[in-house]
A and B are shown apart, each in its own frame.
Chain A
Amino acid sequence: MYPYVVAGAILFLGVIGIARSRNLVHAVVCLAVAQSGTYVLLLTVGYQRGATAPIFQSAPEKAGYAATLVDPVVQALTLTDIVVSATVTSMLLALAVQIAKRHDTVDPDELRSLRG
């Protein structure tokens, strides 16, 4: 049960970090931390005690071999998750760069008005 608690804790730590953030770069990193909770959650769902990685060295001889592997589907989803996280992080960091240039601050609390 505890890995689920760890996944939820990472998610909430990231969210708390975003809410407390005084720096946009810090907020973006906190978002990446929050998203890391989903990696832990996905891998937790696919884990099986005593099972090995879903990669074959040679063709299995007997049927039912699949039952000794961890779930590859959630691992593939985790890969997708990481790619999405990287793209979102890059876009948000580019936004932070532009905000720093145009408003001379990266503190979200000092951004009171929208300017073109």
Chain B
Amino acid sequence: MSRGGRYWVLAVGIAAVGGALAWAFLSMPGFGGGFHPYRDAAVAAALRHSTANVVSSVNFDQRGFDTLGEETILLASVVGVAVLLRPLPGERHRHGRQGGHVLGTTRMLVVVAVPLTLVLGIDVVAHGAVTPGGGFQGGVVAATALHLIYVGDRYRVFARLRPIGLFEQAEAAGVVAYAAVGVAGLAFGGSWLANILPHGTLARLVSAGTVPLLNAAVGLAVAGSVVVLLSHFLDQRFLSPPPGTRHAPGDGTQP
């Protein structure tokens, strides 16, 4: 299709979807109003299970099964990226020196920031039921700590600190642990992912029953997923192109 034709299709599509959206928005309850029936039900349910962070209660208690699906989507995408980014026939790993110059201040900042970021990530996972945050957010922060070493131009250190097999197992263990809590709920509470543990006191670190356990499982799985996912992209930089192609993707030269 020509570009002109494409823009006509786009204009028609935007007009139709925009009209439908405007119609829907105009018949919704007004912005900022007090009509939130799901909010009322979710907050009451969170208080019954002593969960201070209502968002965590929704994610890991009230609709915990959906979060298992969410975690599985993440696992599936990691598998998909691993399959898509497998080396082509003729591509080989080359172990050259990493080019570029990194400022001393950047390295210094990385040395300071790595432990802080790691502790912050674990803290966000651990307090998922009490303060803003949770397994997904904390897992990403913890995985970021590892990749700060890469920013500091220490690819060899980074590659040694990052045994991919271990992170793949951590990812799988996170998903299995989540399912195990679900099965335990089925065995002892009569329903899948039932909150079977004592609920404790609201806003204490150990409260909300199974929510901190599920947060830890998700944190493990997310940190493992992000590390494995990014490792496949970072590896692309160290693949030599197969003979016959004009340039390797990512080395900045134009064909």
Contact = CB atoms under 8 A, between A and B. Distances in A.
Interface of A: 1-4, 8, 12, 15-16, 19, 44-49, 53-60, 65-67, 69-73, 75-76, 79-80, 82-84, 87-88, 90-91, 93-95, 97-98, 100-102, 104-105, 109
Contact of B25 (A4, A46, A79): A4
A76 B55 contact: yes
A64 to B, nearest CB: 9
Contact of B55 (A45, A54, A98): A54
Contact of A83 (B43, B47, B70, B245): B70
Contacts of B54: 54-56, 69, 72
A72 B39 contact: yes
Please classify the interface of chain B as helix (H, G, I), strand (E, B), loop, or mixed, using the class held by over half of its residues: helix
A75 B57 CA distance: 11
Interface of B: 3, 6-7, 10, 13-14, 17-18, 21-22, 25, 28, 30-34, 36, 38-40, 42-44, 46-47, 52-55, 57-59, 63, 66-67, 70, 73-74, 76-77, 80-81, 84-85, 88, 131-132, 134, 136, 202-203, 229, 232-233, 236, 241, 245-247, 249, 255
A81 B43 CA distance: 21
B34 to A, nearest CB: 6
B25 A19 contact: no
B36 A71 contact: yes
